[in-house]
């Protein structure tokens, strides 16, 4: 499947920014499809991004803090 850019999702229709609370795994660690990867907070809700594939976290660009919706948070190397 190749490299996948993990972007800050728009899980709250009115939000332009979210807060990344933290990653549940580190760079270089294996992940399974549907495994929880990143905890985030919007204006009205908390959200957990789950892995869309089996693979490896190849790069974390934003460890925590406020980001714009659509901003790249990291990269996954998908193996399936």
Domain, as residue range, for 11 = 2-78
With cut-offs at 50, 70 and 90, classify the pLDDT of residue 24: very high
What average pLDDT does range 37-54 have in this prediction?
Answer: 92
| Cβ neighbour number for residue 35 with a 10 Å cutoff | 13
Domain count, the chain: 1
Q: At a CB cut-off of 8 Å and minimum separation 6, what does 54 contact?
A: 30, 31, 32, 33, 78, 79, 80
Query: What CATH number is associated with residue 50?
Result: 2.40.50.100
Please tell me the pTM assigned to this model. Answer: 0.90
H-only helix segments in the chain? none
Rounded to the nearest integer, the mean pLDDT of the chain is 93
With cut-offs at 50, 70 and 90, classify the pLDDT of residue 65: very high
The dihedrals phi and psi of 14, each to the nearest 5 degrees, come to: -95, -10
Residue 14: pLDDT over 90: no
Residue 1: pLDDT over 70: no
């Amino acid at each position: 499947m190749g490299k996948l850019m993990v972007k800050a999702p728009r899980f709250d229709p009115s939000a332009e920014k979210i807060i990344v609370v933290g990653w549940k795994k580190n760079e270089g660690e294996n992940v399974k499809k549907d495994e929880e990867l990143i905890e985030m907070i919007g204006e009205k809700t908390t959200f957990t991004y789950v892995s869309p594939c089996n693979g490896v976290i190849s790069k974390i660009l934003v460890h925590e803090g406020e980001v714009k919706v659509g901003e790249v948070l990291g990269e996954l190397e998908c193996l399936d």
